[in-house]
């Protein structure tokens, strides 16, 4: 098998661009906003129902992701598992077309969005587990950075199509009656994900049939017993891996907080209009995508740990002026600087784990990566709310996010350095001395 066949880098990165339609359109900027609108009832009620659905989805992901990844590892069926879960995302997105703007359809919409989140997160586990197979030890960083950047740029392009084609006065001329133009966005998101994921799903090789048949004979109970044995072995033999899971879970929650509350602060504290918020979101994603590309190359040059530490330090420096400045220009400058450091940190976090995961167990490791992230996902929202409550102003929520990022930085300092360009450190989760 040629290197090109084994390493379909562009198809792999295109999958991330396709997945961006669900993240950007369905869960962030369009469909979730539609579901919490007045057509479905009181805003407080609809927001609570949506939150409850997403919390349930998060619990399912946390409890199942490592086992699902492990079973795909054993079966050599990552392509099939990725295809199945990607299809689930596509179906859930497309089915949202039938969520009419009436209170009686709220539960259907929330159920589809929540189920889509489960499929999307599990698909990401299998997608991330393919990273070592589509790269080499010397290109892990740049390939991971390419994937993250394609996700950002894919989200930008998808949002532009939605804004120009579907939202009033959309170029497609779709009527607003019964929110047909918004519901049609769900169909577009499904088609976008299907088309951009197809190259990887058609090209990536499948594992041997014998392995798949052997794995199917394993019961779920056996899979959970095997997971527990893996965790016990990690505790005894791979303390670095467990420390990485903890550190990355903390700083990744801080990174998520940067994007989650960026628009909130832009509108609430700095007086941005809706159009200005959208423009900032597009600009922020462009900067984050470029940052991921640059960070990926630095990852291969100096190692993922240094990229993570530099990015977290840059985030703290960029966020600090917002505590004292209230000028919209200051938000543009500091906000875009924050976005520039988010991409490299996200990408380097993925490559660090890819370098220390046991060969053939990447799905299980990335499943645990997802689970630990879910386990601490309350930190940034909780500290944001706490600091706002203590100091009595929305802008002080920035301080709460900074605390999470600082905690992640201090935990990352305890991780060993991984030399760039060498074979990944496997099996025992150890690396070089910190430095």
pLDDT tens digits along 149-177: 898 899 889 988 888 888 767 788 898 89
Q: pLDDT of 279-301, one tens digit each?
A: 888 888 889 899 999 999 999 99
CA distance 173 to 160: 16
* pLDDT above 90 as % of the chain: 36
Q: How far is CA 329 from CA 15, 70, 267, 268, 337, in A?
A: 35, 48, 13, 15, 12
pLDDT average, residue stretch 26-41: 83
Q: pLDDT of 316-367, one tens digit each?
A: 999 999 998 888 999 999 999 999 999 899 899 999 998 888 888 888 888 8
Q: How confident is the model at residue 382 (pLDDT cuts 50, 70, 90)?
A: confident
Q: Average pLDDT, whole number, for the chain?
A: 84
The answer on pLDDT for 57 being more than 50 is yes
Per the listing, tokens 């407080």 go with: 44
The pLDDT of residue 261 is 76
The answer on pLDDT for 277 being more than 80 is no
Q: How confident is the model at residue 428 (pLDDT cuts 50, 70, 90)?
A: very low
Q: How confident is the model at residue 218 (pLDDT cuts 50, 70, 90)?
A: low
Residue pair 126/83 in contact by the 8 Å Cβ criterion? no
pLDDT average, residue stretch 91-95: 97
Return the higher-pLDDT residue of 420 and 413: 413
CA distance 106 to 97: 13
Residue pair 293/344 in contact by the 8 Å Cβ criterion? no
Q: How confident is the model at residue 1 (pLDDT cuts 50, 70, 90)?
A: very low
CA distance 174 to 180: 7
CA angle 196, 201, 206 (to 5 degrees): 165
The answer on pLDDT for 210 being more than 50 is no
Q: Nearest to residue 145, comparing CAs of 299, 376, 367?
A: 299
The pLDDT of residue 429 is 43
Q: How confident is the model at residue 207 (pLDDT cuts 50, 70, 90)?
A: low
The pLDDT of residue 195 is 96
Residue pair 347/140 in contact by the 8 Å Cβ criterion? no
CB-side exposure of 165: number of CA atoms within 13 Å? Answer: 13
CA distance 120 to 50: 17
The answer on pLDDT for 379 being more than 80 is yes
Return the higher-pLDDT residue of 328 and 419: 328
The pLDDT of residue 316 is 96
The answer on pLDDT for 187 being more than 50 is yes
Residue pair 355/304 in contact by the 8 Å Cβ criterion? yes
The answer on pLDDT for 378 being more than 60 is yes
The pLDDT of residue 420 is 61
Taking each helix axis as running N to C, give the angle between helix 239-268 and helix 328-356, from 0 to 180 degrees, rounded to the nearest 10.
Answer: 160
Q: How confident is the model at residue 199 (pLDDT cuts 50, 70, 90)?
A: very high
Q: What pTM did the predictor assign? A: 0.81
Q: How far is CA 266 from CA 87, 322, 334, 350, 383, in A?
A: 35, 11, 11, 29, 19
The answer on pLDDT for 208 being more than 60 is no
User: In three state form, how does the secondary structure of the chain look?
Assistant: CCHHHHCCHHHHHHHHHHHHHHHHHHHHHCHHHHHCCHHHCCHHHHHHHHHHHHHHHHHHHHHHHHHHHHHHHHHCCHHHHHHHHHHHHHHHHHHHHHCCCCHHHHHHHHHHHHHHHHHHHHHHHHHHHCHHHCCCCCCHHHHHHHHHHHHHHHHHHHHHHHHHHCCCCCCCCCCCHHHHHHHHHHHHHHHHHHHHHHHHHHHCCCCCHHHHHHHHCCCHHHHHHHHHHHHHHHHHHCHHHHHHHHHHHHHHHHHHHHHHHHHHHHHHCCCCCHHHHHHHHHHHHHHHHHHHHHHHHHHHHHCHHHHHHHHHHHHHHHHHHHHCCCCHHHHHHHHHHHHHHHHHHHHHHHHHHHHHCCCCCHHHHHHHHHHHHHHCCCHHHHHHHHHHHHHCCHHHHHHHHHHHHHHHHHHHCCCCECCCCCCCCCCCCCCECCC
Of 66-70, 194-198, 275-279, 366-370, where does mean pLDDT reach its minimum?
A: 275-279
Q: All domains of the chain, ordered by start, with CATH?
A: 1-218 (1.20.1250.20), 226-435 (1.20.1250.20)
């Amino acid at each position: 098998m040629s290197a090109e066949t084994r390493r379909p880098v562009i198809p792999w990165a295109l999958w991330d661009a396709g997945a961006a339609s669900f993240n950007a359109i369905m869960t962030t900027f369009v469909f979730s906003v539609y579901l919490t609108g007045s057509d479905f009832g009181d805003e407080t009620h609809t927001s609570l129902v949506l939150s409850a659905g997403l919390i349930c989805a998060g619990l399912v992901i946390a409890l199942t992701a490592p086992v699902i990844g492990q079973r795909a590892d054993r079966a050599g069926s990552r392509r099939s598992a990725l295809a199945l879960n990607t299809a689930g995302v596509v179906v859930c997105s497309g089915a949202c077309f039938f969520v009419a703007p009436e209170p009686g359809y709220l539960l259907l919409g929330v159920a589809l969005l929540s189920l889509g989140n489960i499929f999307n997160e599990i698909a990401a586990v299998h997608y991330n587990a393919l990273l070592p197979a589509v790269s080499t030890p010397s290109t892990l960083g740049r390939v991971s950075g390419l994937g993250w950047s394609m996700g950002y740029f894919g989200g930008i392009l998808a949002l532009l199509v939605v804004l120009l084609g579907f939202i009033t006065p959309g170029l497609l001329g779709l009527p607003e009656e019964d929110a047909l133009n918004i519901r049609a966005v769900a169909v577009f998101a499904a088609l976008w994900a299907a088309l951009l994921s197809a190259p990887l799903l058609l090209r990536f090789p499948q594992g041997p049939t014998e392995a798949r048949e052997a794995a199917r004979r394993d019961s779920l109970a056996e899979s959970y017993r095997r997971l527990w044995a893996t965790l016990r072995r990690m505790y005894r033999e791979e303390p670095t891996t467990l420390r990485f899971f903890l550190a990355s879970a903390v700083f990744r929650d801080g990174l998520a907080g940067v994007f989650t509350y960026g628009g909130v602060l832009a509108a609430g504290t700095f007086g941005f209009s809706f159009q200005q918020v959208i423009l900032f979101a597009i600009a922020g994603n462009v900067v984050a995508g470029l940052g991921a590309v640059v960070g990926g190359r630095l990852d291969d040059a100096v190692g993922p740990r240094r990229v993570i530490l530099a990015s977290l330090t840059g985030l703290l420096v960029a966020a600090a002026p917002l505590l004292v400045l209230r000028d919209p220009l200051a938000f543009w400058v500091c906000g875009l600087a924050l976005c520039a450091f988010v991409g490299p940190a996200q990408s380097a976090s993925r490559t660090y784990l890819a370098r220390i995961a046991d060969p053939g167990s990447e799905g299980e490791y990335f499943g645990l990566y997802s689970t630990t992230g879910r386990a601490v996902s309350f930190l940034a929202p909780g500290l944001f709310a706490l600091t706002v409550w203590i100091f009595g102003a929305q802008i002080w929520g920035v301080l709460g996010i900074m605390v999470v990022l600082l905690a992640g930085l201090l935990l990352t300092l305890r991780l060993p350095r991984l030399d760039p360009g060498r074979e990944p450190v496997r099996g025992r989760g150890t690396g070089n001395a910190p430095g």
